[in-house]
Amino acid sequence: MTALTNQELHYLAMNMVGKDLEKRGFEFIAIESKLGKQPQFVCIDKKNQRFFVIVKAIILPKDPEKYDVIWMETFKKHAREHEAKVLFAGVGIGNSEDPSLPIYKNEEYLLDYRGIQFLDVSLN
């Protein structure tokens, strides 16, 4: 059995979020699939509003909706400079048999995806 790499887990999360964005009517301007590069998606909505979408694959049982608040404030500043809004999508992935084991290729896995979070980029 071969465990999925961090990059493969990231692709899995991006695929799920990309389908969700499409379903919501977003149009993709740019896609960045390399691990550690932000944002993963640059999209526009029907009103031509730009969105930066951050996708994070999280190993369960960690909470997929939690993110580094301090880092995110820096990213929100970047979004404001580009007149973009920020969306965050955490995707929890885990081994369905034993949470202490890695996620293996071609095996079932647990999934915790609660949708896309809108993060306010306005200054407090």
Question: What is residue 122's predicted lDDT score, i.e. its pLDDT?
Answer: 81
Q: What is the pTM of this model?
A: 0.93
Transcribe 5-66 into DSSP letters: PHHHHHHHHHHHHHHHHHHTT-EEEEE--STT-S-SEEEE-TT--EEEEEEEEEETTS-TT-
pLDDT in tens, 29-70: 999 999 989 999 999 999 999 999 999 999 999 999 999 999
Question: What is residue 123's predicted lDDT score, i.e. its pLDDT?
Answer: 66
Mean pLDDT of 8-16: 97
pLDDT in tens, 60-117: 999 999 999 999 999 999 999 999 999 999 999 999 999 899 999 999 999 999 999 9
Domains and CATH numbers, the chain: 6-119 (3.40.1350.10)
Question: What is the token pair recorded at 38?
Answer: 């932000």
